Amino acid sequence: MTTRAASWQPLSPGERSVAIEVLVHGPLSRTDIARRLDLSAGSLTRLTKPLIESGLLVEVPDGGGPAEVRQGRPSQPLDVVAESRTFLGFKVTEDMVYGVVTTLRSEIVARLDRPLTTHDPAEVADLLAGMTGELTARFPTLTGIGIGVGGLVRDRAVVGESAFLHWNDVPLAELVEERTGLPVVVENDVAAFVEAETWFGAGRGLDRFVVLTIGAGVGYGLVLGGRRVPYAEEDRGFGRHWILNPNGPLTPTGERGSAVSLLTIPSIRYQVQAATGQDLSYEEILAGAAAGEPMSARVIGEAARALGVLVAQIANFVLPQKILLAGEGVGLMDVAEAMVEDTLRAHRHPLAAPLDVETKVSDFHDWARGAAVLAIQVLVLGVAEV
């Protein structure tokens, strides 16, 4: 563990759960919190007092809205001072570093991107420290840094293996801490994104929740009991062996008819190019499919059916309360949502609970935001590693 001590004094388990509840579920009165956490009113007074004294929580005037008129003493909502601290999240790709500054509640307040021209660990750390420096000037409340990297990350500090950076056991957290003096948390990018959605996004408050990302590759995140489940093949080409249609297309990466071959942006572009000779962008292909261009429509239709099968399989086995489809490749849903849903319905039991599927087109800044959330979890609240 390279990351340094928490920025706030260590919280007791009770205090931590109260802090998380307020952070994640917005302003809440003590009574609300007591009900949610199944605690007595007296305990809430006790637990909130130190949190208010430390400045993490404040009493806020009743949320402006059309205050529903009720009898009795009005409740006194508590909230985190979202702007009191800011966090920096980085997403490192092969040729770019994307950075965001977020509040305590993970709202993005600034963005900063830089090309990445070298993969030398020290120089990458230099670049990240430089970007941090620029932002410190504008955001003096910067409290911690989260870094998301595609690849295997150990102890939230060391990049054990990253194919595109050609790194092995690079202590990235340490390198950046040395240069910035700020505590740093490093995590696999998909894992960070999933954590962010679990805490602040689509998976808020859910017990069983699945994140499926489609973009350059396929990413999968499983949240059970409110906690992400780590797995061995994480970010090492998940979905490559994942046959959705045995008669599907053969592409340079992924087995025939696999999720990678059918759904990822490179594979879709490859299929269209192989058939038509034209090197079209993903957006052009989607537009073509929408306009009825036969080849694009065929490829996109096949992808939509595959996605329906995939979501159905997840729904049938994991029984999640919600599935989030994210990434750059879910633009598919705008064009072919009906086809996805038809396929999904055909592959599920009619009596099965209706499935909540949320689609969210996300870009690299959303991935960077995920990394910032990791920093919030670890540095502010002292949430331990899974």
Partner DNA sequence: TTGATTAGTTCTAGAGCGAAAATATCTTGC
Partner DNA sequence: GCAAGATATTTTCGCTCTAGAACTAATCAA
What residues make contact with its own copies under the rule CB under 8 A?
208, 210, 220, 222, 224-225, 229, 231-233, 236-238, 240-243, 245-247, 255, 309, 313-314, 316-319, 346-353
The distance of closest approach from Cβ of residue 56 to DNA in the complex, given in angstroms and rounded to an integer, is 16
Q: Which stretch binds DNA (CB under 7 A): 71-79, 99-107, 123-131, 175-183?
A: 71-79
**119 vs 347 by CB, closer to its own copies:** 347
47 interacts with, out of DNA, its own copies, none, CB within 5 to 8 A per kind: DNA
347-353-357 Cα angle (round to 5): 70
Assess 43 for contact with DNA (CB under 7 A): yes
160: partner contacted, choices its own copies, DNA, none (Cβ within 5-8 A by kind): none
Binding status of residue 74 toward DNA by CB under 7 A: yes
Which of 2, 3, 48, 261 lies at the binding interface for DNA (CB under 7 A)? 48
Residue 181 Rama label (left phi>0; alpha psi -120 to 50; beta): left
From the list 1, 9, 12, 94, which residue makes contact with DNA (rule: CB under 7 A)?
12
**Which residue's CB is nearer to DNA, number 79 or number 126?**
79
Joined together, the tokens standing for residue 258 give 């696999």
Q: Which one of residues 1, 5, 9, 46 is an interface residue with DNA (CB under 7 A)? A: 46
29 touches, from its own copies, DNA, none (C-beta below 5 to 8 Å by class): DNA
Q: Of DNA, its own copies, none, which one sits near residue 95, judging by CB under 5 to 8 A according to partner kind? A: none
Sign of CA dihedral 123, 126, 131, 134: negative
Q: Which residues face 326 on adjacent strands?
A: 213, 360
Judged by CB under 7 A, the number of residues near DNA is 26
Q: If contact means CB under 5 to 8 A according to the sort of partner, which of its own copies, DNA, none does residue 68 touch?
A: none
Structure tokens at 344: 């999904």
**Among DNA, its own copies, none, partner that 237 touches (CB below 5 to 8 angstroms by kind):** its own copies
Confirm or reject binding of residue 61 to DNA (CB under 7 A).
no
Determine the interface stretch with DNA among 68-76, 98-106, 311-319, 369-377 (rule: CB under 7 A). 68-76
Which partner from the list DNA, its own copies, none does 238 bind, CB cut-off 5 to 8 Å by kind?
its own copies
Say whether residue 31 binds DNA (CB under 7 A).
yes
The distance of closest approach from Cβ of residue 248 to its own copies in the complex, given in angstroms and rounded to an integer, is: 11
Residue 16 near residue 22, CB atoms below 8 Å = no
Name which position in 38, 137, 140, 247 contacts DNA (CB under 7 A): 38
Nearer to DNA, 14 or 382 (CB): 14
Q: Considering beta carbons, is residue 71 or 247 the nearer one to DNA?
A: 71
- The neighbouring-strand residues paired with 112 are 99
Residue among 7, 29, 273, 313 that touches DNA (CB under 7 A): 29
Q: Which is nearer to its own copies, 103 or 251 (CB)?
A: 251
Burial 212-243 (b: 16+ CB within 10 A, else e): bbbbbbbbbbbbeeeebeeeeebbeebbbebb
The answer to whether residue 13 forms part of the interface with DNA (CB under 7 A) is yes
Where does this chain bind DNA (CB under 7 A)? 12-14, 29-31, 38-48, 69-77
